[in-house]
Amino acid sequence: MSLRSSHFRSIILPTVFFIGLLSSSAQQNEDPTITTMEAFSGYPLHEPNESPTLHLASSLSLDAQALQEQIDELSTFSDSTAPSVTRILYSEKDVLARRYVKNLMRLAGLSVREDAVGNIFGRWDGYKPELAAVATGSHTDAIPYSGKYDGVVGVLGAIEAINVLKRSGFKPKRSLEIIFFTSEEPTRFGISCLGSRLLAGSEALAEGLKTTVDGQNISFLDAARAAGYAKDKDELSSVFMKKGDYFAFLELHIEQGPILEEEGVSIGVVTAIAAPASIKVDFEGNGGHAGAVLMPNRNDAGLAAAELALAVEKHVLESGSVDTVGTVGILELHPGAINSIPSKSHLEIDTRDIDEERRNLVIEKIHKSAVTIAKHRQVKLSEFKIVNQDPPALSGKLVIETMVAASRELNLTHKLMISRAYHDSLFMARICPMGMIFIPCYKGYSHKPEEYASPQDMANGVKVLALTLAKLASL
């Protein structure tokens, strides 16, 4: 492993050096007559034709204390006691949190609008407002008994990034827009990334939401209406946006994994987001008494499940890539008695990859194995259901390069990495080039009260976000 990485460095270093050479020679090759005439007259003849973000990195001043206070305050809109946070879609606490965020957006001078499911947008018009805007954002809903940083850093951090840019005197060419996404977590209606999925144009979701109910049999539409949204059920498709509506989308997020902290790296530049597919499988056999039915006469649904679980591992490993993963997180046997041959078994399988074809091949192989195993063991494959199969997404090349450039100019160490959890950015990638900025979080903890990101790490992330936004908004 260490051999491989040092080999890797020796490839990367000369490239960086080469780029450095290129840019310095470009500076020397500027039209010499301009310099001469300026020197002669004593006045500059031209507006200096330099990048509007050239000196921005050193003039970004951030109020890390204010950001921390806002995060603490937002965490008090919770249905569980501190330090845990519980904030479920369209609950009273969710509505209060929304009000708090909209207020901060207005204080930052942004114009605020909301769509039919409560995605909230705060816009800073550029001086070329007809150009596609650069957007950034995340979510603030929180699963039961979780922490206060997941998603929140990408919403409140985005508002602070705008404040930082405004304080620096920067004027965006493209408009900048902050998006607060409705319900990234699937807690209430079993649908993850509800707001971004719909915004990215999912017809299936717009249709499905009309009949979706929560665990209390409250319909999505009633819940949305109670929170002040979805006044007309046919209005859900008005949430859709299309390719070209945004120039780029960025999301600042805690890593939710331990890599950045362990390696002491400040910024994770996300190059791809892996996406899960989930599968439910049921086998049925005859069952019977554990003593009375002899081995040749059995058709054991439990062993079929066990065999399939091992097949999942085998097919995932066959892909040959560390990025392919598969998990059998649920394996249930019926009737579940020591002296009874399992007559039914139920498995739930999660498989992820950053390469959709490779992941779908794994799913196909799992399906073939399930059929073969059922045949050999004389059990019935009563269900093989692919519950969801979202495509993974690659970050935009230009967005990656801009995030890297911003990290360098801010003298922050960075690392290219893959997001193995998925985020609203996965869906934004359907309509525009996307990128994510990760910051370290304590031990990689997330979705629990111990979740923590230091003010310094958040400040670094907000600065990289601000500078990346500024650079993209200047194109």
Ligand X SMILES: *[C@@H]1O[C@H](CO)[C@@H](O)[C@H](O)[C@H]1NC(C)=O
Q: Give the interface with ligand X as residue ranges (CB under 6 A).
A: 57-58, 217, 410-411
Query: Residues 29, 30, 32, 38: what is their CA dihedral angle, to the nearest 10 degrees?
Result: -150
Name the residue nearer to Zn ion (CB basis): 150 or 390.
150
Name the residue nearer to ligand X (CB basis): 139 or 463.
463
Contact 141, 184 (CB under 8 A): yes
Contact 84, 147 (CB under 8 A): yes
Name the residue nearer to Zn ion (CB basis): 150 or 451.
150
Name the residue nearer to ligand X (CB basis): 10 or 217.
217
As measured in angstroms, the least distance from the Cβ of 320 to Zn ion is: 30
**Rounded Cα distance, 388 and 426, in Å:** 14
Name the residue nearer to ligand X (CB basis): 284 or 457.
457
DSSP secondary structure string for all residues of 351-376: EEES-HHHHHHHHHHHHHHHHHHHHH
Bridge-partner residues for 348, per DSSP? 280, 330
151 touches, from ligand X, Zn ion, none (C-beta below 5 to 8 Å by class): Zn ion
Please enumerate in sequence order all residues whose Cβ is within 8 A of that of 62, keeping only pairs 6 or more positions apart, or say none.
160, 164, 459, 462, 463
**Rounded Cα distance, 402 and 407, in Å:** 9
**Residue 289 DSSP code:** B
150 touches, from ligand X, Zn ion, none (C-beta below 5 to 8 Å by class): Zn ion
Name the residue nearer to Zn ion (CB basis): 287 or 392.
392
**Rounded Cα distance, 449 and 249, in Å:** 29
Stretch that binds Zn ion, among 21-29, 150-158, 236-244, 296-304 (CB under 5 A): 150-158
Name the residue nearer to Zn ion (CB basis): 197 or 344.
197
As measured in angstroms, the least distance from the Cβ of 409 to ligand X is: 6
380-389, strands of its sheet edge to edge: 325-334, 344-353, 275-284, 380-389
57 touches, from Zn ion, ligand X, none (C-beta below 5 to 8 Å by class): ligand X
Q: Does 151 bind Zn ion (CB under 5 A)?
A: yes
Bridge-partner residues for 84, per DSSP? none
Name the residue nearer to ligand X (CB basis): 61 or 65.
61
Q: Is 427 strand, coil or helix?
A: helix
Q: CB nearest Zn ion: which residue?
A: 151
217 touches, from ligand X, Zn ion, none (C-beta below 5 to 8 Å by class): ligand X
160 touches, from ligand X, Zn ion, none (C-beta below 5 to 8 Å by class): none
Q: Does 118 bind Zn ion (CB under 5 A)?
A: no
Burial class for 278, CB neighbours closer than 10 Å (0-12, 13-18, 19+)? middle
As measured in angstroms, the least distance from the Cβ of 153 to Zn ion is: 9
111 touches, from Zn ion, ligand X, none (C-beta below 5 to 8 Å by class): none
193 touches, from ligand X, Zn ion, none (C-beta below 5 to 8 Å by class): none
Measured CA to CA in angstroms, residue 468 lies from 251, 267, 365, 375 at distances of 11, 13, 42, 56
As measured in angstroms, the least distance from the Cβ of 57 to ligand X is: 4
As measured in angstroms, the least distance from the Cβ of 184 to Zn ion is: 5
As measured in angstroms, the least distance from the Cβ of 79 to ligand X is: 23
**Rounded Cα distance, 238 and 172, in Å:** 28
As measured in angstroms, the least distance from the Cβ of 475 to ligand X is: 21
Question: Strand 142-146 relative to strand 120-124: parallel, antiparallel, unpaired?
Answer: unpaired
As measured in angstroms, the least distance from the Cβ of 410 to ligand X is: 5
Q: Does 150 bind Zn ion (CB under 5 A)?
A: yes
Q: State the residues that interact with Zn ion by CB under 5 A.
A: 150-151
